[in-house]
Structure 1
């Protein structure tokens, strides 16, 4: 066996270089969407579905990313979105900047381990300093929360629309005591933004859910006042046989008797529901067509296949008892509501349960001229709700517009002077990466990013630590402008960006895994007819074990 060819360090790619490019590419994809002046992306699915959005989480969620390093970055953005509901674009941008800076440090001879260590110390200092820039919130003053909401939607609409939707968001959250489990958002094509409405109650989108009210008798009321509401968590159908079998009929009278039995069973079900005093019946599963038609003729609105989360919300809010047999329904199992009515909102059909006595619910119905506009409006307001709720939970906010990021960059840069050796270079690189946020905000606002960043640095040096880039592209005090964001959003961006970057920097090469079909290929045989392979001769149990796994390795590699 000939000795392996020698590979010198100069023959290999610099550590981490091949693993950096995919992460930077993902960051470049969303770079132009950052801030109130960010551009939109048009995403076209394989089925031709078109979505236009500049929401980072929506873009990354729909991208087809094949590279494993790219998927790590996308996964980190998803984690950011799940944790705080905002800041995904900023976090991905920061990861891209940190990776690009790391590449430059590699060229200067800094090892990836030293880069990761320097980044960690710099991020720790930045997170400590972040608290010093926080502005505490007064629970009794909703003004700052309203400004947080407007910051989240500014740039998507004009100022009047942003103010209106900030008010919608606060009103909806206030109605449910900031408990988002009792708040639902719906988008309804048709009309404009100002046609949106906040409903006190549970709105069920008949088009988007599996609920169906087809076949309702024309005489059934479209609305009920103070209705008695039943909740059946099982199919409503005449008695069925417990086991399959063959039915033999000896004469026509038997057929008539069988039909009469089915008719009587349906009549008993209908009578049980009606005699209990039911006005509206929600069934989580299907309802026999004849039973539903008969109930409709008795004035009972029967709604089948109610989505599970909607069904559970209706049970909690109305106080109805969940029953498994409609035939056993009685008055004690019924819940109450202020009203139940069918509404047409634009091109959508809603069934609305209002004034629920047991648990307050609210539904925000957002309008848009087209399905795309309405859906994008809902996505933006969803982010707005998450941000406002997070700010209230934190009890503090920080200046937006990149002001906090530049202030932290200056703090980290000053702290880097106290570090030794190559960690100092990494910490300085971390500080430069933080400046990417105000720089890109200025760039997307149409400013010269170099000139804007130079002026921002000068004003921060003079003590104006809250100066950032506003929606109009002006450099001004963000607190005075009312541009605020939750502390946790910035903190989570720092933590997630550090973790993601450090994980990528620890990877020096991406290797393809051996598939089962290639398990017997030359150089990787673990036993076999000849008992030879790339790892030396192996016979006996080990060779047999490998064969049981299709020739591949029977273990996984990890830290």
Structure 2
């Protein structure tokens, strides 16, 4: 059996602000057979992790995102930050795509995943400097990942759908630090009530954000809300004269548009005289009349379309008492069809009385100056729409993201149980992985122990963001966990306490998802030994084959050998110049 690596210290003056440097005593031996100046993906991955690390936890700070058009957005949601970053380096894009995929699949934990990836690659870099082969590191990381995930699952506590107190605590944990205490309670109540109203099926829940109000104006609607401003539905004079409420409407769902023009082929018609022009207008009028007749003859009161509705058709329908909603979002369109019982048709001529759905009422309303249509009392399937408000568009959108995070946390808690939060779950998993390393008798034991060290990057970052000394906090955490206090974690003040008693919980599924994505990404990066520019065909192919390939091939453009796109020597030019908008090496 190989000896466990010596513990390192992050008190070293070499790395005073590195959030991924371990706090364990050091091993400063020279590399046995290092990789020299070859391909090194670690700095690129660490740059992304460091960018997001300061947003982690209840004391995480916000990022001001500014796009090329000058639009500013303030957020501390890791997924939102990553989506906005312009990343030039290939490894940076690999890490970003992995974290984004995790966010799409799990719905939470993107920042934690990025922090873990940075820590795992930093630990791997130190092992490679000591002569450990990347394959041995990958094998050790795979073993450690399995052990850590099993430990989290063993420590998880089931939560019942009716346990309101715990579900609200889970939602509060997800929101703590992003708003004040009163708002956190309001978010938790909204999220718990909304997801319970749809039987914990997030597919039947939508969250809408509107400016011009506050969190106290948030409401939960039993039905589907369609933002007619976003869907480009014009409220002209005829539609404006509609009653604000239509009782017991018959609802048609057209998976297309309502226009006399058929197909997507553009055609040009030439006329030689006024009679020809009149004939064309008359043909269009008859086509529109037949279309309107088909919709009305089916007994339709409200028609919801996936594509555009011709202006003249919409006005004619309004005069005959039919409200047309165009360009409904796909999720809203599908929800309306399912919940109302309407059969989806692709053409207006396919509409029949049997294809229509029903609802108790359809109401036109204005929310913060934005027109909307609410369909309530849908008979076939329950659907809940949460309406949140904010003083500005940016605040309203951030409020929507917070509610989404609360809903995700609650759903995962019910399906997979919970573990103590505040970094306690990662410390507990680190102890379990470290114990596993002592039973391995090959060089992968070093990687398993390094994995255990990397897991402590999460509580270390939480402590640093809370302005506490991470060395002291981690020493206290280890001592508490060694003494059997598995619920010892870091509270919002940065102190170590029993987070379970404080009601701080994380969904187990989020932790296991973070562990799986981070380890798989780190292993994939570790197995890369070089970055090659792939050749192709065309006039510029020779330019892509290396700095000497242009000799004599006669291309006229600048190869940029002195510093590529977005990475000019002086850092002042290039398409993606500037940090953090361009992360490259």
TM range (shorter): 0.7 to 0.9
Q: Which residue of 1 aligns with 2:535?
A: 514
Residues 280 and 108 of structure 1, relative CA distance in 2, 3 Å threshold? same
Residues 259 and 506 of structure 1, relative CA distance in 2, 3 Å threshold? closer
Q: Is the 2:155–2:419 contact (alpha carbons within 8 Å) kept by the matching residues of 1?
A: yes
- Cα drift, residue 50 of structure 1: 1.7
The CA distance in 2 between the partners of 1:373 and 1:522, in whole Å, is 48
**Counterpart check, 1:481 vs 2:502:** yes
**Counterpart check, 1:397 vs 2:409:** no
Identify which range, 19-28 or 274-283, moves more after superposition.
274-283
Aligned positions of 1:10-25 closer than 5 A: 13-14=35-36, 18-25=40-47
Q: Is the 1:416–1:428 contact (alpha carbons within 8 Å) kept by the matching residues of 2?
A: yes
Residues 296 and 105 of structure 1, relative CA distance in 2, 3 Å threshold? same
Q: Which residue of 2 aligns with 1:409?
A: 430
Calculate the TM-score normalised by the size of structure 1: 0.84
Cα deviations by residue, 1:430-449 (Å, 9 ceiling, x for unpaired): 21111111111111112111
Match of 1:376 among 394, 398, 403: 398
**Structure whose residues are more often helix by fraction:** 1
Residues 95 and 218 of structure 1, relative CA distance in 2, 3 Å threshold? closer
Q: Is the 2:34–2:130 contact (alpha carbons within 8 Å) kept by the matching residues of 1?
A: no
Cα deviations by residue, 1:173-198 (Å, 9 ceiling, x for unpaired): 11111222211111101111121111
Q: Which residue of 1 aligns with 2:387?
A: 365
Provide structure 2 residue ranges, at least 5 long, that are not aligned to the other structure: 1-30, 550-585
SS at structure 2 position matched to 1:480: coil
Q: Which residue of 2 aligns with 1:26?
A: 48
Q: Which residue of 2 aligns with 1:106?
A: 128
Provide structure 1 residue ranges, at least 5 long, that are not aligned to the other structure: 1-8, 526-559
Cα deviations by residue, 1:81-114 (Å, 9 ceiling, x for unpaired): 1221111111111111111112222232322222
**Counterpart check, 1:45 vs 2:67:** yes
Identify which range, 44-53 or 414-423, moves more after superposition.
414-423
The CA distance in 2 between the partners of 1:250 and 1:424, in whole Å, is 89
Residues 222 and 102 of structure 1, relative CA distance in 2, 3 Å threshold? same
Residues 457 and 340 of structure 1, relative CA distance in 2, 3 Å threshold? same
Q: Which residue of 1 aligns with 2:475?
A: 454
**Counterpart check, 1:436 vs 2:488:** no
Residues 329 and 482 of structure 1, relative CA distance in 2, 3 Å threshold? same
Match of 2:207 among 182, 185, 198: 185
Compute the RMSD of aligned alpha carbons: 3.0
Q: Which residue of 2 aligns with 1:424?
A: 445
SS at structure 2 position matched to 1:383: helix
SS at structure 2 position matched to 1:479: coil
Q: Which residue of 2 aligns with 1:77?
A: 99
The CA distance in 2 between the partners of 1:124 and 1:522, in whole Å, is 42
The CA distance in 2 between the partners of 1:66 and 1:377, in whole Å, is 31
**Counterpart check, 1:283 vs 2:305:** yes
Calculate the TM-score normalised by the size of structure 2: 0.81
- Cα drift, residue 334 of structure 1: 2.6
Residues 306 and 459 of structure 1, relative CA distance in 2, 3 Å threshold? closer
The structure with the largest alpha-carbon Rg is 1
